[in-house]
Amino acid sequence: MGCVGLGPASLGDPADGDFHRSQGPGRDVGPGLERSVGGDGSPRCLLLCSPRPGTHRVRIRCAGLRAFSLPLVKPLATAHGPITRREGWLVALMDEAGRVGLGEATPLPAFGTEEGICAQRALERMAEGIVDREACEDRSLESILRSVVRRMPGSHPSATTPCAIGAMQAALCDLAAQRTGRSLASWLRDRSGASGGPLPRLRVQALVGGADPRQVEGAARKARVQGFSVFKLKLGISRTRRSLGADLERVAALRSEIGPSARIRLDANEAWSRHEAESALARLAAFDVDYVEQPVHRFDLSGLKALDEADVIPVAADEALLRGGWQACLETRAARIFILKPAALGGPLDVLELVRRARGEGIRIVWSNLIEGVVGRSVAVALAAATATREEVHGLGTAGLLAGDLGEGARTRSGSIEVATVPGLGCRLPSPWQAATVAAPDAAVTPEAGDRIVSWGPVRIFGTPS
């Protein structure tokens, strides 16, 4: 019987002695942040059976959750504060044939998602409720999740716990794509109603860091040599003393390094008031900026709209789209560009509806992510490949920001990402888990950069895979 691994510890066949059955709603497997070990002290890898042919109905036989913490190569400075690690949960759903769909919930509360503890509780409730649910066909898989979500506390769970619901939805979509033998990008393309296949490759931007002009120049030079032609820079990164003058110097250094033909994108992350934003855009216009993301507070839609209509520099909505805000942004036409982070918007299928409506209003769409692990990034890549235009450049080349990752997926090469063509999501999670960390392939890891360990929590199993 062929088997495939799921991360550091997988759900498995009861015939394998290392499988842990659930006792009640869920059971923890493995102490603290350590790997589970067998009776002989060796690393335990719980195995997943390969799909069995001849099944017709869809049943979620069991669900698994595992917490993780991913280190960044170095802290990323933003107007919301520095990001040093990304913490979340890996989600695995097994169907009756032993296929496994993966999802990732990696909240970023300062940017508008739920808190980590809220995501955890929502995941546990959904995992418990989703086991043994059935659907008659793959296209109805999302009905399984929706029936569970309707029973969750609160009136709008998709808005209050988007990362948790998005992870479950992504895992179901991964399963559905595998059942049809298609890549997730191809499956989503079909679900979008568009003809033809997904894009085979996506162009991506470089996220350039640096607190001063010299650091910005160095980061931009490295990215340019790697083949990038679009560069994004965070503004307002000092929470104690924000200075437009300092930001102008940093942008000037970036333009000087990359030359006049390369594109610059700026992200203020709500750093400015409306008056400050007006002044900043007027002075930044000299650098031929592609657009500025979220220059004002997420709830100041009238300010966002006024800045966009002034047409000094195109304005993009980002944080304003979260927690259901995208509908208000559409209704008010608050910005001409939407930055879509699927995990923060409730999952692939919810985002497809957003895309349909936004395209109907002539909104330009740029895909991005929450600096997630390979599973979350791969979902965003699949959505972009399924819906984007060939010319657009996206914020999906963030793997190099991580010093460690959940596994392997599509890599960024020469400013582009090749879209997976294998059935489902296309991620490769190592099995057995033979090391404490998986070094991110695009990361430049240096000894002095800090902790490189990907910390894993215990596995929780809901249901039984037999």
Residue 153 has what pLDDT?
Answer: 64
Distances (CA, A) of 6 to 50, 95, 375, 459: 12, 14, 12, 11
C-beta of residue 402 within 8 angstroms of C-beta of residue 449: no
The average confidence (pLDDT) of the chain is: 83
Distance CA 194, CA 215 (A): 43
Mean pLDDT over residues 64-70, rounded? 94
Please name each of the domains of the chain with its CATH number.
190-418 (3.20.20.120)
Mean pLDDT over residues 62-79, rounded? 93
Distances (CA, A) of 449 to 85, 210, 348, 455, 456: 12, 15, 34, 17, 20
Residues 198-226 have pLDDT tens digits of 999 999 999 999 999 999 999 999 999 99
Residue 464 has what pLDDT?
Answer: 80
pLDDT at residue 14 greater than cutoff 80: no
Residues 92-144 have pLDDT tens digits of 999 888 899 999 999 999 999 999 999 999 999 999 988 887 765 555 666 77
Residues 415-426 have pLDDT tens digits of 999 999 999 999
Q: What is the DSSP letter of 361?
A: T
CB within 8 Å of 172: residues ≥ 6 apart:
93, 101, 103, 141, 142, 144, 145
pLDDT level of residue 47 (50, 70, 90 thresholds)? very low
Residues 337-385 have pLDDT tens digits of 999 999 999 989 989 999 999 999 999 999 999 999 999 999 999 999 9
Classify strands 3-5 and 412-413 as parallel, antiparallel or unpaired. Answer: unpaired
pTM of the entire predicted model: 0.84
Distances (CA, A) of 124 to 33, 36, 304, 318: 18, 20, 37, 28
Query: Omega of the bond prior to 432 within 30 degrees of 0, cis?
Result: yes
The token pair at 438 is 């998986």
- Three-state secondary-structure class, residue 141: helix
- Three-state secondary-structure class, residue 431: coil
Distance CA 157, CA 48 (A): 31
pLDDT level of residue 154 (50, 70, 90 thresholds)? low
Residue type, 202: L
CB within 8 Å of 251: residues ≥ 6 apart:
233, 235, 264, 266, 284, 287, 289
Mean pLDDT over residues 75-89, rounded? 94
